[in-house]
Structures are given as C-alpha cells and as structure tokens.
Structure 1
C-alpha cells in the first residue's frame, strides 16, 4: 500500500491561527479597564505589553533555531499546546500589575513558538507561484484571531469582567492547540542543514536578507506600538462623543484595526506573487508611515471618519508582514531559514517591544492636547525605516526575491 504524499491542511492551519491568537489582544482590549482595576500608569501598561513582546521575541529565536534541528512541525504543535496552558494561567492569576506582567510574558513566551514554524510550513508546502499567498493566508488567520480577541473581550467586559475575557480567550487558545496538530500532522517538514548559514549565503543574499531584517525592525516598531495603543486611543476619542457602549466600541475597534488587516495579509501576498516583492513593500511602508504621522491628531474627527482612518491604518501596517516573511524564505536557503527568521525576530520584535513603552512615556510626559499625536508620531519612524529598506531592494522583482543572485 502506497503512503500518502505529505500535505498541509492550509484551511485548518488558518483556523488554528485564528484560535491560537485569540488571546493575543485581550490585554490591549481590556487596557482602559485594567489601568483602573490594577491602578497602573500608562508606562506600567506599556511595560506589560513590552514584556509580552520581549518574551515573544525570545521564544521566536528559540523556536526558529529548534526548527532547523527538530523540524518546524514538532515545534509548532508543542508551542500551540503550551500557549493554551499559558492563557489559562493568565485567566487564573492575572489580577494586578505584577501578575499581569508575569502571565502576559508567559503567553508571549509560548506564542512566539507558533509563529515562525507556521510560516515555514506554509511556505515549504505551497507551490512556488502561490508562496506569498499561502503565507498571507496564515497571517490573515492571525488577524482574524485578533478580531475575535477584541470583540470577545469587550463582550465579556460588558457582561461580566476582565477575568471572563481572559478565560474565554484561553478556551479558544486550547482549541487552537488541537487544530494546530491536526493541520500539520501530514505536512512536509524542513530538514536541518549540515553547513553553516554564513557559508551558504552569497553576497547578494546577505544584502537582501539584511535589508529585509532592517525593514522588519521598522515594521514591528510601528505595528506593535499601534496594536498596543490604538484600542485605548479609540476609547479616549469615541467613548464620550459617540455614545457607543463598550461592546459596540470594541466591535468597531476590532473591525477597523484587524479585519482590515485580515484582508491586507492575503491581498498583499497575492499582489506580491503578481507584481513583485519590492513594489508591494514600498507601497505598504509608505502608507503606514503617513497614517502613523496623522492618526494621533485626528481624535476630534467624526466617529465614522476616524474609524475609517484606523481601518486604513490597520490595513497599511499589517500588509507588508506576509511579504516580508515570504521574501525571507526566498532570500535564505530552506535549511537555514529557521535561524534567519530567529535573528530577524529578536532584532525586529525586540525593537518593537520598546515601542509601546516609548509611546506610554510620551503619553505621560506630553501636554494632553498633543499627547496622542506625539505618541503615534514616534511610530512613524518605523514606517520610514521600512520604506527606505524596501526602496533599496533589487529592482525589478516581478516575483519574490530569488534564492540565487
């Protein structure tokens, strides 16, 4: 009897990403309540989000190196199971700044192990002509998870309290662990490499990978800072003037911020397959930079226009994520992809961890009339860096960067 060929269940993998990342935005979604309940300053709130991000960067590095040695499939499934346990721990024990910092850091420490392996598995199991789109769909699943996270959190806040928000997210994360295993159990894995990564890369590949890593640093600075503070910004801007309930505001926040990101993820991947990596990266980076420089000054806009602006902001800042990731899979040989993505993660997400803290410090120090505008302006620097790096990539590039230069 002939064995079945390796095959990734991409739709189930996307569903797994939706469920596993349902815990990702619980803290930002509950932030306006938690600052009061836990008696936190804006800087302390930024420290919790920063702790989550630093822990995620550490796990991204560890998971990426383990993928090259143990295989992406095993790392992915074990990390998904650990994510469920960490989410349950947060639901049970997060009751103040200290416990929140510890449990959110634990969640970050486990979530990172599901990110890089998912990208590697999607990339290695997809046809070459649809690689960007496959990675885009995986990241779109994550954006959908963020939508679920924000809506569910606000619903629980309205019905009960923040504890129920953390618990409901933990239940979904546990389901994500099961779906993660089922989606990849028959997938083709990436074998470990025998040579050193340095000897395997040509000068052109090294240049391209460095530009992509620098671009990723700018991307994550802008994206993670925006994710951490936009929900609180919308609460401050809309809760009084719009007459919205907490649930309504949460739904609109999720739709504006992350449903737009859902579409951006797979549309940008499809666009990169057709138009080339460089063009897509330039467009999204420039748009994100403009949005970061503008949105903080727009709090007095009519609610409908402000929500549309946030939707455009969410679309712009997440749109280049899938393309940056798939471009790395083309710039680096498969056997060394894990460690390359790991280095990228530490530098990029490590820098991105500083963004929420920096934003909070600006928010605490700046005059009230300019605080949000100046806070978001600090994020525009990341978009500018991503734009410059994208412009420096080789041109023309009708498809993703080639392995051999």
Structure 2
C-alpha cells in the first residue's frame, strides 16, 4: 500500500463523497413537484424517500464485510458508477410511485457501496492517532453532501425541468470516482488477503459498547432521515399557513434554506467530537439527542408563527440533528476489534440505515393519521413521536455509559 498523507486521503475522500451525494436528497428537495405530478400521499412520499435506505440496509452488511478481505477502494468505485446509473434512471424512467421507488432503491444500493466502504478505507489508511478525527471529518460528508444536493437540485430544477436536472446530478458520482482514484491508496485494508468474507453477527453483538453506539446510530439516522425527507414539505406548509393568514407568502426558497442550514452540520460534528473526547462520548451523544428532539417539537409548534422564527429554530435544529454522528462513528471505531471492523461497520450500517428507512415512512403515516401534511396538529404529533424515540435511545445509552 502506498503511503499518502492522512490530510490528502481524508480531504480527498470527503470531497469524493460530497460528489457522490449530488442526488442524495433530489427526491425530497422536489417533493412538492412530485406530489403534484404523481398525486402522492404523505405515506407514499415517505415510502419513496425511505426505500433508498431499504436498498442500503439490504446490501451494506455484505459490502462492508467484504472490505475485510477486498480492497474497499474497488467497492467504493463500483458504488460511484451504480449511483450515477440510478440517478440517470430516475431522471429518464421514473413516471410514478412504483418506478420512482425502484430507482431510489438502486440509488440506496449505490450509496451502500460508497459510504461505509469509504469510511473503512479512510480508517485503514490513516494512523491510529488521527483515526477518530478522520472518521468524524469523513462523517461530515453527510451534512455537507445533503446541503450541496439540496442547493444543486433546487437550482437545476429552476433552470431546467426536473428530468434534465437529474441528468446533471448524475455527473457528480463520476467526478467523485475520479477523485477517489487519485487520493485513495490501493489495498488500504491490511488484512485483505487473510480475512474471509463473512458477517459474524455473534462476535459483533457480543461487544456491548459497540452495540450501544449502533442503537444510537439507528435513532440518529431515523431523525436525520426524517429531517431530510420532510424539511421542504414542512417549510412549504409553513409558508402556505402564513400566506393564508396574512394574504402574502413569506420570501425564501425552501431548498436554499435547507441547503444553507445543512452546512452548519459539519462544524457541529467536529465540535461535538472534540467535546466528546473531553467529557465522554456517550454523555455527549445523550445530551445532543435530547436537545435535537425537543427542538424538533418546538419547530413544529412554531409553524403558525413568524417565518423568521421558523428559520431560526430550523437553523438550530439543523445543527443539532447531525452533531452526534461523528462522535457515534468515532466511538464505534474506538471500541471495535480491527479484525472485525468491516463486519462491525456492516451491522452498524444495518441498524443505522434501518432507522433511516423506517423514519420517513412512519413520520408520513403519523402525518396522514393526524390529518395530513397541511394540518398543524399533525406536524406536532409527528415530531413528538421523534422526541419519544430519542428519549428511549438516550435511556439505553445512559445505562451502558
């Protein structure tokens, strides 16, 4: 394995993953368009958003476990190509909920081939002393990638029709693949020739500390996925509610607002990781989970208020939700056996992105049950359910801290 600077490897893979995520929130970013064009209910919209993570969960255990034997760089590049193909397929072949779900599923498989294998590649390629910081920084691709996807999707959809926008979005993973080929060392996994391809669940779950981080990741991803899937719809609802009372809709493009708020996630992740190093990871994660869930309820309750208040609360919420992700991933790596790291990351991803799959669907069901996405009380009930979930996760972490 050729030696490269940890800064080059981590920074290059950070940019490569952002490029891979150009279409990550393309469906949620244009959700009002798809709801109108395909006559989607909140439950169906939540299903299409969430099925991306079903594809992820179904394949990531195998793909992550394979990185204990196969160069993760190869798996990462395969995922980039598949993501580009799925984005093109959605843009030119999605015509209803069924076809849209299929291409979102394939996008999820592509992402499964990139995200955790990329984390494994970075983890193997950097020295032990900087591994937790590299993991936290790499994890920040999620928030920056989401922000970039919101902004780029919204602008492209304004300049062109949404199908052409998807064609441009498909270029991102191809550019990211080229960058990864330049910065990521080959055969970054030291044990690649010795370890069998297996997903050893028994050995993985025997590590109770690791399991507690996995559960925290599931709750974190459920809340993050809900925010990504329903942010635009919530902001559109808030603007419509204000317009119905005042006769004038407040200014502000929801995709731009969501994108700018998402940018705050990266510094939040890095700061939270440093706080966790000083005061303890599990206690830091518990505090963030409780604060973010309560802020979500406050945001829903403010939907009838001034739009500037909504934006301010959303900005705080958008910083709190991703803040614990770096600490969770870094903590998992700290307590993991290096020889089982691929399998551990595989189960970590199954639990985490299982939450990401179920979160938007259940949130949509609660919205429909409460009266739909145009009902003020339905949003409060839905966000309150998220808060209850975070509370349960915090209790579990407290017991294992």
Same fold per superposition (TM over 0.5):
yes
Contact 2:2–2:185 (Cα < 8 Å) also in 1: no
Q: What does residue range 210-229 of structure 1 map to in structure 2 within 5 Å?
A: 210-229=211-230
- Aligned match of 1:237: 238
Q: Secondary structure at the match of 2:170?
A: helix
Residue 371 of structure 1 aligns to a residue whose secondary structure is helix
> Could you say which residue in structure 2 is the equivalent of 1:53?
53
Q: Does 1:251 align with 2:256?
A: yes
- Cα distance 1:294–1:199, how it changes in 2: closer, same or farther (>3 A)? closer
Change in CA separation of 1:388 and 1:54 when aligned onto 2, cut-off 3 Å: same
Write out aligned runs for 1:2-401 (5 A). 4-8=2-6, 9-186=9-186, 188-192=188-192, 194=195, 206-238=207-239, 241=243, 243=249, 248-256=253-261, 258-367=262-371, 368-394=375-401
Mapped contact 2:286–2:394 kept (Cα < 8 A)? yes
Unaligned runs of 5+ in 2: none
- Using the alignment, how far apart are the partners of 2:277 and 2:127 within structure 1? 11
- Per-residue deviation, residues 3-51 of structure 1 (Å, max 9, x unmatched): 9535552221111111111110100000011100112111111111121
In the aligned structure 2, how far is the partner of 1:210 from the partner of 1:259? 29
Q: Shift of the alpha carbon at 1:198?
A: 7.2
Q: Is the 8 A contact 1:285 1:387 kept in 2?
A: yes
Q: What RMSD, in angstroms, separates the aligned Cα atoms of the two structures?
A: 2.4
| SS of residue matched to 1:221 | helix
The whole-number CA distance in structure 1 between the counterparts of 2:155 and 2:178 is 25
Residues 62-96 of structure 1: CA deviation (Å, up to 9, x unaligned): 21111122132222222122212222222221222
Matches of 2:380 and 2:25 in 1, distance apart?
A: 23
Task: Answer with 186-195 or 174-183: which moved more.
Answer: 186-195
**CA–CA distance in 2 between the matches of 1:202 and 1:117?**
20
- 1:260-312, Cα deviation, whole Å (9 max, x unpaired): 21222222233333443223212211212212332222212322221121121
Q: Distance in 2 between matches of 1:302 and 1:83?
A: 40
Q: CA deviation at 1:249?
A: 2.7
Alpha-carbon spacing, 1:198–1:342, altered in 2? closer, same or farther (3 Å): closer
Change (3 A) 1:126 1:352: same
Using the alignment, how far apart are the partners of 1:67 and 1:187 within structure 2?
10
TM-score normalised per structure 1: 0.88
TM-score by length of 2: 0.89
SS at match of 2:95: coil
The alpha-carbon distance between structure 1 residues 343 and 267, as it changes in their structure 2 partners (threshold 3 A), is: same
Task: Show structure 1 runs of 5+ residues with no match.
Answer: 395-405
